[in-house]
Structure 1
Amino acid sequence: MDTKDEAKEELKQDSPENEKIKFTVHKKIIRIIVIAIGFLAAFLSLLIATSISWMFRTWTGLTMNELMFHIQSPIQGTDHGIIISYILSCILVSIGITMLIGIIYKFVKKKRGLILLASAVVSVIAAGTSINHMWSRLDIKAYASNKNTYSTFIDDNYIDPKSVNITFPEQKRNLVYIYLESMENTYADENHGGAFEKNVIPELTELSNKNENFSGDHKTLNGGISLNGTGWTVAAMFAQSSGLPLLIPIEGNSMNEQDSFLPGLTTIGDILKDAGYTQSLVLGSDANFGGRKLFYTQHGMYDIYDYYYSKDNGQIPEDYHVFWGYEDSKLFDFAKQHLLEAGASDEPFNMTILTVDTHFEDGYLCEDCQDTFGDNQYANVMACSSKRVTDFVNWIQEQDFYENTTIVISGDHPTMDSDFCEDVDNSYDRKVYTTYINSAADTKNDTYRQYSTFDNFPTTLASLGVEIEGNRLGLGTNLFSSEATLMEKYDKNTIDIELDKKSKLMEKLTKDIVVPEPEEELTAEAEEDSSEETEIIPAEIEVTPYDFRTGKYEVMVKNLPADTDVQALRCAVWAEEDQSDLKWYEAELQADGSYITKVWAADFAYKVSEYNIHIYTLDTEGEPHLLAEAAGEITR
């Protein structure tokens, strides 16, 4: 091509026609980007709005503490119905509305941009309105302020069990403690202290009135108030066992991923263990959920009989799963078996049982449930639970060991069902169901007591004939005594506000909670590269057999070479060939110079398999060096 032709080509490229084409293309790209941003903004805003609406429909009495707990808890162990409900009510609804906007946009020829803009703006306004409603309803400003303010309320009122004399009777009594999921006095009729027109729990009402609920001479139902930090299952079990709220400084983590559960705390499980009790926890769901297994194994060495125990020991088929695991009819059958075994022993026993059928939303309708309340499924489930629990108590009372056994029945927390209590007047004090049966202690007077679930801690011990110096433990008071409770000294709102604030004592008790640094661990690819480039340093490695009761096995590293440069020691653990399930653990240095790593089955969804273990040292510069290789195993 000669010079003249080149000049013509340049003129052609710079011609107005070409510039117009370029402008059109750029304009089209920008338009596509703007449209995509509009649809994305509409979808995300709709998702925010529907999520907030779903949240308040699902948890009607939601507090900021409970919201933070649910956000931090893992999905593992959660009822699939809740997850499906969120997908249907939020994700699919948001996608559906966004697609509808897209269809309108496609078929409308004029003012498309205006339609998309209006849709995005309306969606953003809906999201903003929802966020503002959430901010106000949860009082997030006050929550944030309280979290940055210290209070001495807990510190001043807490009684450490180690600081007082606790004396057991010569013949120790057995304890059966039954947590009833979401069970409130509210469900009884007004004549018996409830808030419903028709009594949904007649058998439990009669059981409580025949025994002790601390209503004095009122002859009506009475129960514990659920205060801040006690309003979900693991928090309720923690509060009734320790007399403290479960207010923990975890961000993006949960207690089942910790190595310890407030090890400096003394609970009823610790006290009974030291007194020679054998202890067990029986439940039809995954005990790991919310850190329950960790709590009960570390505070009392409870034997854990949960959903996975029943699967592994042939009590239910391998593929059996309803609601949260298995239903309460099976729970009480299994509990009877364990009670007969415990009752045949010469040692005193403590069995803790947690029901699940009455969990929100609407509960689990088993084949034994009748339609007494028509299409109100939750009422039918509650009525079924009332009869089943009472039948179980009657069975215990027929056993030889009953004469020396105390039964405590308590709701864990008020229900979170979205509409079951929507007609209950706001002035009604919603309390969890409470009764003490065959207690070794008697009340000092006929006074109607105002109390919280914290008071169950010392009161349960007193019901076993235990003498407690001062009649107070944790934040709780022995209700069989005449000592005033916190609820009788302060109003509920004052206590809730003070519990929400920072506490030096709670900081001390929760100092062992570890919050992992984000993404500090090596990636699987880095693990592979470093294994190829480093020479293996000899060391003595021991891997313990898997313990299904605690849900873990341990890796111990001993006799490290004296010249090994160790700033830290980490273990990479995986079972899949592509290392897609790889987990990293920080080893703990022991006093004798050895290192111990705890590998939790929950981190691998309890997959039965052999696991590869690579142990690395980190030098002063943070560089990893392969120390040793080993193998572990998770078994049934």
Structure 2
Amino acid sequence: MQNNSSKRREKRRKRKMGEKQPSKWKEILLKILYWVGEILTVFIAGLSVLLALSVRWMFATWTNLSMDELVYHLTAPLDGTNTDMIWDYVRVCAVPTILVIFFLILILIAWRKKEKVHLFRGIINLVALVGIIVMLGYTWTELGVGDYLKDQNTESKFIEDEYVDPTDVEVVFPEQKRNLIYIFLESMETTYSDVDDGGAFDENVIPELTEIAQTNEDFSGADPKLNGGYSLAGTTWTMGAMFAQTSGLPLNISISANDMDTQDSFFPGVTTLGDILSDAGYTQTLLIGSEAQFGGRKLYFQEHGNYEMEDYSYAIENGLIPSDYKVWWGYEDQKLFEFAKEKLLQLSQGDEPFNLTMLTVDTHFEDGYVCEQCPTEYDTQYSNVMACSSRQVGEFLKWIQQQDFYENTTIVISGDHPTMDSDYCAEIDQEGNYDRRVFTAYINAAAYAQDQQERTYSTFDNFPTTLAALGVQIDGDRLGLGTNLFSGTKTLLEEFGNSKVNAELKKKSEFIEKLSAMDKTNDALLIREGKMNGADADIDMTHVAEGYIPVAVTNVSDSIVNNLQGLVLTVWTEDGQADVTWYELNPDEEGNYAGVIDLSRFNYKPGTYYVNVRAVEQSKREYDINCMEINVP
């Protein structure tokens, strides 16, 4: 009785004090807030762990990572990325993060009814937030994000002022055009040679390459020590390096202007080495042991020079390697050089000059790929891989020199960029008394260096120098931001100094962003690449019953007329062109062409006929300028 009275008094006291019993909706809201708090705790803690591990992995994997390189790869497609690297990230970063999240959830569930769970959750949130702030600050400092953002908001006219547009320069090829073999060596530096030969190591791990540079041209003048090109801002990763050496420009533009996932062109406003050689009638091939899509390489080389892509996927599709074969980034350099020999023998049988551009991959960071040919004479794996690459290049060069086509062939061997291996050159960087440069050698060039002094140059200078090595005369000896090193003209580094040029390249350039969007591609190139018709074609179907079909070709593009020998028709009805038939087209005085498809050649077969108008240039190169399908009843 007393207890009931006490309860009634307590209820009256609460009503007098204005207290209310918790409602059902309030209890639901409190539960929702509780679980939201739990989820946020897990999310923040997981994000903190993942960020910390990712930052640690990123800087351990990419030494001297630059902000422009990171921006480029964040916007470039991931197709062709080395799966070993992806799995390494999963193992080092993703898996530990998942485990931490799992154990944190178990702890929160086990302590959910304990009073101290709120204190524990608060401590976790505080530590996680502090960790995120610390990691972001560390990343900001190490990548130089502040300087990058400052540069991106500081306009520089340097590139615009110094850029020489190849379309404004007279470029004259010799009467007999020379073949070109251009070998990009992944991460190859002069650094790996010994001190006496111009490197920074006690022991020379690239003896064959050292000898190649010393007995050919690396623009070291009378000094036997190796000389190489500086890799400046916007050129320190593979696509940036290949772009720089073939266009004379840095790949250094904003994220919005470099959205590789959606763009269907790659600097269409720029004229490159591939464009110039294509216009001169060269057959061009890009041979690489990885996926050409990675980093936009396929897009760039197909758009600028209509290169044939012979990459990892090509090797599988054509039975060069088993369909399930995959090592490192695709297939190893041992196979690359064997495929290159076969390709060169094939190209040398053609009537057109050729450009075979290659990219090795075994020396990619971290520590490189060990193939069955790699030696074990050095203490580190990367040294053994570098030595293996040097020996393979040396043997490949000797093979080329034994071939009939060598006499009329120039070879360029160039490192793409300094290595990004995390520790291989760490001591050299710490000492700070050696300038790291990419390996460079010009072999069997049709030019001689006018200046016998050691040249100070960058990889931009490879662009005009490669053409000069082919015997091409360049008015003014400048293309892009590059200088023909065979001439006596000063390079930008010799004129302004390394620090000045590098600082200007890092700044925002509205000029280069305009080049990245400007469509200045000439019609002849677009026609050869099948992106536009080079002529109009009219099919007269009124004579089908009589067994023939007249064809009239008009409005042949002026951009291809000067090099045109004639037009032909290719006609077929079956897959695989098993019954393909060729017909010559006859020109008239007005530059139009006419011909007749003889249906008796196809036994008057009804159905779909494929009719292509094909241009034949004076160099014997052929390509379609109009493609049609007609239905024969």
Q: Tell me the TM-score normalised to structure 1 length.
A: 0.75
Secondary structure of 1:409's match?
Answer: strand
Secondary structure of 1:175's match?
Answer: strand
- Which residue of 2 is the match for residue 52 of structure 1? 55
- Specify whether residues 465 and 270 from structure 1 end up closer, same or farther in structure 2 by C-alpha distance, changes over 3 A only: same
Contact 1:254–1:290 (Cα < 8 Å) also in 2: no
Displacement after TM superposition at 1:150 (Å): 1.9
Q: Deviations over 1:138-185 (max 9, x none)?
A: 222221222222211011111111212212222221110000111111
Secondary structure of 1:324's match?
Answer: coil
> Is 1:474 aligned to 2:480, yes or no?
yes
- Specify whether residues 553 and 453 from structure 1 end up closer, same or farther in structure 2 by C-alpha distance, changes over 3 A only: closer
Contact 2:78–2:295 (Cα < 8 Å) also in 1: no
Match of 2:490 among 477, 484, 499: 484
Match of 1:185 among 190, 194, 210: 190
- Specify whether residues 506 and 197 from structure 1 end up closer, same or farther in structure 2 by C-alpha distance, changes over 3 A only: same
Residue 331 of structure 1 aligns to which amino acid in structure 2? L
- Which residue of 2 is the match for residue 405 of structure 1? 409
- In structure 1, distance between residues paired with 2:261 and 2:352: 30
- In structure 2, distance between residues paired with 1:430 and 1:262: 29
Structure 1: gaps spanning 5 or more residues:
1-10, 514-548, 559-590, 592-636
Q: Deviations over 1:199-229 (max 9, x none)?
A: 2212111211111111112211111111111
- In structure 1, distance between residues paired with 2:50 and 2:532: 43
- Which residue of 2 is the match for residue 209 of structure 1? 214
Displacement after TM superposition at 1:254 (Å): 4.2
- Which residue of 2 is the match for residue 158 of structure 1? 163
Q: Tell me which moved more, 133-142 or 19-28.
A: 19-28
Secondary structure of 1:382's match?
Answer: helix
Contact 2:160–2:511 (Cα < 8 Å) also in 1: yes
Q: Deviations over 1:178-199 (max 9, x none)?
A: 0011111112222222222222
- In structure 2, distance between residues paired with 1:19 and 1:205: 84
Residue 320 of structure 1 aligns to which amino acid in structure 2? Y
- Specify whether residues 252 and 95 from structure 1 end up closer, same or farther in structure 2 by C-alpha distance, changes over 3 A only: farther
Alignment of 1:1-12 (within 5 A): none
> Is 1:463 aligned to 2:469, yes or no?
yes
- In structure 2, distance between residues paired with 1:553 and 1:317: 33
Structure 2: gaps spanning 5 or more residues:
1-10, 520-527, 537-556, 558-633
Match of 2:64 among 61, 65, 86: 61
Contact 1:101–1:119 (Cα < 8 Å) also in 2: no
- Specify whether residues 446 and 351 from structure 1 end up closer, same or farther in structure 2 by C-alpha distance, changes over 3 A only: same
Q: Which runs of 4+ in 1 moved over 4 A?
A: 14-18, 20-29, 100-110, 552-555
- In structure 2, distance between residues paired with 1:21 and 1:296: 67
Contact 1:256–1:290 (Cα < 8 Å) also in 2: no
Secondary structure of 2:411's match?
Answer: strand
- Specify whether residues 123 and 262 from structure 1 end up closer, same or farther in structure 2 by C-alpha distance, changes over 3 A only: same
Secondary structure of 1:217's match?
Answer: coil
> Is 1:447 aligned to 2:453, yes or no?
yes
Residue 153 of structure 2 aligns to which amino acid in structure 1? N
Alignment of 1:288-307 (within 5 A): 288-307=293-312
Alignment of 1:101-500 (within 5 A): 101-102=104-105, 111-251=116-256, 254-255=259-260, 257-374=262-379, 376-424=380-428, 425-500=431-506
Q: Deviations over 1:285-317 (max 9, x none)?
A: 111222212211221121111111111111111
- In structure 1, distance between residues paired with 2:509 and 2:493: 19
Displacement after TM superposition at 1:91 (Å): 1.7
Q: Tell me which moved more, 379-388 or 109-118.
A: 109-118
- Specify whether residues 157 and 25 from structure 1 end up closer, same or farther in structure 2 by C-alpha distance, changes over 3 A only: closer
- Which residue of 2 is the match for residue 34 of structure 1? 37
Residue 381 of structure 1 aligns to which amino acid in structure 2? V
Contact 1:441–1:462 (Cα < 8 Å) also in 2: yes
Displacement after TM superposition at 1:501 (Å): 2.2
Match of 1:77 among 70, 80, 83: 80
Secondary structure of 2:410's match?
Answer: strand
- Specify whether residues 257 and 335 from structure 1 end up closer, same or farther in structure 2 by C-alpha distance, changes over 3 A only: farther
- In structure 1, distance between residues paired with 2:136 and 2:466: 43
- In structure 2, distance between residues paired with 1:40 and 1:252: 33
Aligned residues: 509
- In structure 1, distance between residues paired with 2:261 and 2:368: 25
Residue 69 of structure 1 aligns to which amino acid in structure 2? Y
Residue 74 of structure 1 aligns to which amino acid in structure 2? P
Secondary structure of 1:208's match?
Answer: helix
- Specify whether residues 484 and 31 from structure 1 end up closer, same or farther in structure 2 by C-alpha distance, changes over 3 A only: same
Q: Deviations over 1:42-76 (max 9, x none)?
A: 11122122222222111111111001011111221
Contact 1:194–1:221 (Cα < 8 Å) also in 2: yes
Contact 1:282–1:306 (Cα < 8 Å) also in 2: yes
Displacement after TM superposition at 1:512 (Å): 4.7
Residue 93 of structure 2 aligns to which amino acid in structure 1? C
Q: CA RMSD in A?
A: 2.8
- In structure 2, distance between residues paired with 1:394 and 1:426: 36
Contact 1:72–1:252 (Cα < 8 Å) also in 2: no
The share of aligned pairs that are identical, in percent, is 52
Contact 1:77–1:288 (Cα < 8 Å) also in 2: yes
Contact 1:260–1:512 (Cα < 8 Å) also in 2: no
Contact 1:179–1:411 (Cα < 8 Å) also in 2: yes
Residue 500 of structure 1 aligns to which amino acid in structure 2? K
Contact 1:238–1:246 (Cα < 8 Å) also in 2: yes
- In structure 1, distance between residues paired with 2:466 and 2:315: 29
Contact 1:249–1:510 (Cα < 8 Å) also in 2: no
Secondary structure of 1:223's match?
Answer: coil
Q: Tell me which moved more, 401-410 or 115-124.
A: 115-124
Q: Deviations over 1:224-270 (max 9, x none)?
A: 11111111111111110010111234439644642222222111111
- In structure 2, distance between residues paired with 1:553 and 1:461: 27
- Which residue of 1 is the match for residue 608 of structure 2? none
Displacement after TM superposition at 1:353 (Å): 0.5
- Which residue of 2 is the match for residue 621 of structure 1? none
Contact 2:213–2:441 (Cα < 8 Å) also in 1: yes
Match of 1:88 among 78, 91, 96: 91
Q: Deviations over 1:89-148 (max 9, x none)?
A: 222222233444455666777844333332332222222112112212222222122222
- Specify whether residues 98 and 170 from structure 1 end up closer, same or farther in structure 2 by C-alpha distance, changes over 3 A only: same
- In structure 1, distance between residues paired with 2:260 and 2:32: 49
Residue 464 of structure 1 aligns to which amino acid in structure 2? L
Q: Tell me which moved more, 437-446 or 64-73.
A: 437-446
- In structure 1, distance between residues paired with 2:23 and 2:302: 75
Secondary structure of 1:378's match?
Answer: helix
Displacement after TM superposition at 1:486 (Å): 0.9
Displacement after TM superposition at 1:322 (Å): 1.5
Displacement after TM superposition at 1:490 (Å): 2.0
Contact 1:256–1:294 (Cα < 8 Å) also in 2: no
- Specify whether residues 457 and 554 from structure 1 end up closer, same or farther in structure 2 by C-alpha distance, changes over 3 A only: closer
- In structure 2, distance between residues paired with 1:153 and 1:341: 44
Greater C-alpha Rg = 2
- Specify whether residues 256 and 205 from structure 1 end up closer, same or farther in structure 2 by C-alpha distance, changes over 3 A only: farther
Contact 1:254–1:291 (Cα < 8 Å) also in 2: no
- Specify whether residues 188 and 117 from structure 1 end up closer, same or farther in structure 2 by C-alpha distance, changes over 3 A only: farther
